[in-house]
Structure 1
Amino acid sequence: MGHDSIDVQVAHIALVGYLKIKVLPMANNTYSLSFPSSKDKAFTFKYRQNDTLFSSAPVPSLFIQVKTVVKEMIYALGGMGVYHRFRNRQNLTVVMFHRVLPRSDIRAAGADPEWTMSTDTFRACLKFFKKHYCPISMEQLATAHVMKKELPACSLLITFDDGWADTSEYAQPILDELGLSALVFVAGSIINQTRPFWQESLYHLLSSQPDGLAKLQTLLAEHQVSISHDLKCAKDEEGIRTVIRQLGNCDHSRLNAIAQSLQLESDLPPSMLTTEQLKNLTVARHSVGSHGMSHQPLTTVKNPQQEVSEAKEILTEQLGSNASVNTMSFPHGAYNKDVANICWASGYEYLFSSDSLLNRMQNSNKKNRIWGRIHISERAITDMRGNFHPSMLATWLFSRPSGTLLTK
């Protein structure tokens, strides 16, 4: 069987959605993978367990190794690309990032790994986007929406949430270098703020400082914040998240005060965007949108209309009176019909959720549309050594469900 026939067969397998594989153990930790064809012939691929992909400890199970090898093969032979170009040609993919930090930055050590990506992996993602998609700007999406024009096949929009300073410091230079635009959603209250959100501040404290738990207990007592949950569970990532969720029901002004005191005690650089950084984003042809005022879920705040209106006013004031702030992403992805209607009534024309959905562009010009976005987690697209694998990102993105989110 020649290489061309293998390519066609694997592409066909990817498109029809099944794969029959035989795994045969061989000498020296080598496995033979056979892909039967309709003529009962096979292509055999040998993979050594100690190769780079699986050289970190602990060693993945044979099933996981085989599954990963299969993905690598299908991607390398073009099968995933064929499947994507066929399936997603009329879908808009909107990807969502939060923080981008090099591992050498002091802020990276205690940053929440679910929402933080290294600069190396981010650069690899952007190169992947340029290879498999037609990246567009928010301006292009708006024009197509208003003029009822079609977007290019396999379009993709890059977005950021929150308003982190590292978006300007690290993500923007890479975007600019590769000629890509992004839409950056910023919470109105964080501009020129040195401390991070209280959630991130507490995550940094508990994950990076040996005496973090004792210090947190002292700070909670000083600020008269009580929690029913046992703080001793905050020994790993899941335990820390549990404590933070419990604290979410407490007075946020006191939690913000705790975060501010932690920032003053630390030698960490400022965490959030400054006015100058915000303006530089728009000068470089990136777009800025709203992420609410206080970064609290709009489904739980007392006055969501005030939240979204104040955020719009603050951002317009910071960017200049000629700026048009007509896009918004829901803080924490929380929204309902009432929240969406309030946002549209406040002058926002494009609303973005955290629903993991590819946006079907046949209905791109419909009013009252909410755009889905795919969060990209570094841990979902890298191996245990932190090495990026395009096949993992392809798997993460290409087969997501597609549809149209409408709120009447």
Structure 2
Amino acid sequence: MAAWQRHQAGGRRILIVSYHRVVGDFTGELQRSIPGLLISQETFRGHLEGLRAAGYEFATIGEALDVMAGKRAATKDLCVVTFDDGYRDVYRYAYPVLKQMGVPAITYLPAALIGTDQRFNHDRLFHLLGRAVARGYQPRFDVLPSAASELLDTVLSGRTRISAALDDFIGHHPTDTLLETIRVLEERLGAGPDLLPPQGDLMDWDEVRCMVKDGFEFGAHTLGHRVLTHEPLEVVEREVRESKAIIEREAGITVRDFAYCNGWYSDEVIRVLVRNGFRSAVTTEDMPNRIGGDPFTLKRKVLWENFSLGLGGEYSPSLTVCQLDDCFGMMGLRGPVPGRRPQRTEASAANVVMGPTGTPPEVAW
């Protein structure tokens, strides 16, 4: 399988893996967090060991780009480790493992949230919906905005798990609608300290600078985690330009790499990135990267804890290697979710908020 994949890729496999939160207590965190964002420190270490055992050489994003562009040849298959969102868990639990094993990595930061006490909108919504279910909340749908009514009805009816309902919701609605839904839910649930999730805190700039000193790289992930294909182009321009400027100022580095929120992109977004001096951008499309491929549509495999659990619930090295080598994809048992989307104007975004919705593919935050 590996030999065939190398042939298809143009000579060498270039695997880019993506993580969000590496945690110390997976079982405890699972009770209060979005499951698909979590991986235990032990399983994360197992992934890195499994990648080495499978013959991969860990590389920086720049080294991988050089191989893709034909600027240098690779003697082994390459693996690039990436993290989205800048969760503090990465500093606490992934950073020590990476240092110990000598593995390079890049973290994509939502620049305006780093160093603050804010939480991501998806974490806030997950937490608030969980509180609503726990309290047995019964909404008055006639006085709720349509988007909030739809989300609450889906969750409280028990038709869909909270994380799956959020996938659909975030896939349809721009950030302003998410913020309005959060406001409405907080208002209906009443004041109280339990309305802000205690988990999901982000790095501060001192932690970022500490990792920079050890040679770890950082890229941009918008200012506040906006799905750019949902936004008008003036918002896209600001999110790209200002996120780059903030990270460069605070971390003292040059930012040239970007991660699309949800993995979604458009030709218009790519043009904004090029205009602002970026050299690459990563998606969440689980497909092979090919020699000569587009550096602004880099493919990634998004991983979490359950990708490595065997039938008995234990860590399975064999299953992990099958996942990393995309055995199931090659057998046609799993297909990628495409990331290319139409760029929405302000008018069309408003239509999505107020009009009927279809069934979007699953989102990787």
Is TM (by shorter chain) over 0.5? yes
Instruction: Give yes or no for contact 1:290–1:327 (8 Å, CA) kept in 2.
Output: yes
Alignment match, 2:122: 199
SS at match of 2:262: helix
Answering whether residue 25 of structure 2 is matched by residue 95 of structure 1, we say: no
Quote how far apart the aligned CAs of 1:372 are.
0.8
Deviation at 1:144, TM superposition (A): 4.6
Relative contact order higher in (CA < 8 Å, ≥ 6 apart): 2
Q: Deviations over 1:309-354 (max 9, x none)?
A: 011011111102xx11000011111101111111111110111111
Instruction: Give, as a single letter, the amino acid of the residue that structure 2 aligns with 1:329.
Output: A
Q: Aligned match of 1:318 in 244, 250, 258?
A: 250
Aligned to 2:240: 308
Corresponding residue for residue 73 of structure 2: 150
- TM-fit CA distance, 1:214: 2.6
Q: Which residue of 2 aligns with 1:342?
A: 272
| Bigger proportion of residues as strand | 1
Instruction: Give the root-mean-square deviation of aligned CA atoms.
Output: 3.6
Unaligned runs of 5+ residues in structure 2 are 331-338, 341-365
Deviations 1:1-55 (A, max 9, x none): xxxxxxxxxxxxxx5xxxxxxxxxxxxxxxxxxxxxxxxxxxxxxxxxxxxxxxx
1:177 paired residue number: 100
Match of 1:351 in 2: 281
The equivalences for 1:185-264 within 5 A come to 185-207=108-130, 211=134, 214=137, 227-229=148-150, 231-234=152-155, 238-241=160-163, 243-244=165-166, 245-246=168-169, 249=173, 251-255=177-181
Residue identity opposite 1:373 in structure 2: R
The CA deviation at 1:202 is 2.4
Are the counterparts in 1 of residues 51 and 324 from structure 2 also a CA contact under 8 Å? no
Partner of 1:117: 39
Mapped pair 1:371 → 2:292: no
> In the TM superposition, what are the counterparts of 1:280-295 in structure 2 within 5 Å?
280-295=210-225
CA–CA distance in structure 1, aligned partners of residues 280 and 101 of structure 2: 26
Deviates more, 1:371-380 or 1:161-170: 371-380
Tell me, in whole angstroms, the C-alpha distance in 2 between the residues paired with 1:328 and 1:172: 20
Counterparts of 1:230 and 1:368, CA distance in 2: 36
TM-score, with normalisation over the residues of structure 2?
0.74
| Equivalent residue runs for 1:49-88 within 5 Å | none
Distance 1:212-1:360 versus aligned 2 partners, 3 A rule: farther
Closer, same or farther in 2 for the Cα pair 1:226/1:373, shift >3 Å?
closer
Whole-Å Cα distance in 2 between the matches of residues 256 and 109 of structure 1?
Answer: 21
The AA in structure 1 aligned to 2:272 is I
Q: Which amino acid in the other structure matches residue 148 of structure 2? A: I
SS in 2 for 1:358: coil
1:305–1:342 Cα contact (<8 Å) kept: yes
The whole-number CA distance in structure 1 between the counterparts of 2:226 and 2:261 is 6
State the shift of 1:256 in Å.
6.0
Q: Distance in 2 between matches of 1:374 and 1:104?
A: 21
Q: Is the 8 A contact 1:206 1:213 kept in 2?
A: no
Q: Distance in 2 between matches of 1:282 and 1:263?
A: 35
Shift of 1:153: 1.7
The CA deviation at 1:199 is 1.2
Verify the 8 A CA contact 1:223 1:254 in the aligned structure 2.
no
- Matched to 1:102, the amino acid is G
Q: Which residue of 1 aligns with 2:262?
A: 332
Instruction: Specify the alignment match of 2:322 in structure 1.
Output: 395
Secondary structure of the corresponding residue to residue 226 of structure 2: coil
Query: Which AA in structure 1 matches 2:47?
Result: C
Tell whether the 8 Å contact from 2:308 to 2:316 is kept in structure 1 after alignment. Answer: yes
What do residues 282-315 of structure 1 show as CA deviations (whole Å, max 9, x unaligned)? 1121110011122111111122111100110111
Q: Identity of paired residues, percent?
A: 18
Pairs within 5 Å for 1:134-149? 134-142=57-65, 144=67, 148-149=71-72
Provide the TM-score with structure 1 as the length reference: 0.67
Q: CA deviation at 1:278?
A: 1.1
Displacement of 1:390: 1.9
Question: SS of the counterpart of 1:211?
Answer: helix
The residue type equivalent to 2:177 in the other structure is D
Q: CA deviation at 1:125?
A: 0.6
Question: Residues 257-277 of structure 1, C-alpha deviation per residue, up to 9 Å, x if partnerless?
Answer: 678987775682661111111
Question: 1:377 Cα shift?
Answer: 3.0
Query: Structure 1: where are the runs of 5+ without partners?
Result: 1-14, 16-80
Aligned CA distance change for structure 1 residues 251 and 369 (closer, same or farther; 3 Å): closer
CA 1:222–1:345 in structure 2 vs 1: closer, same or farther (change >3 Å)? same
CA distance in structure 2 between the aligned counterparts of 1:348 and 1:288, rounded to whole angstroms: 13
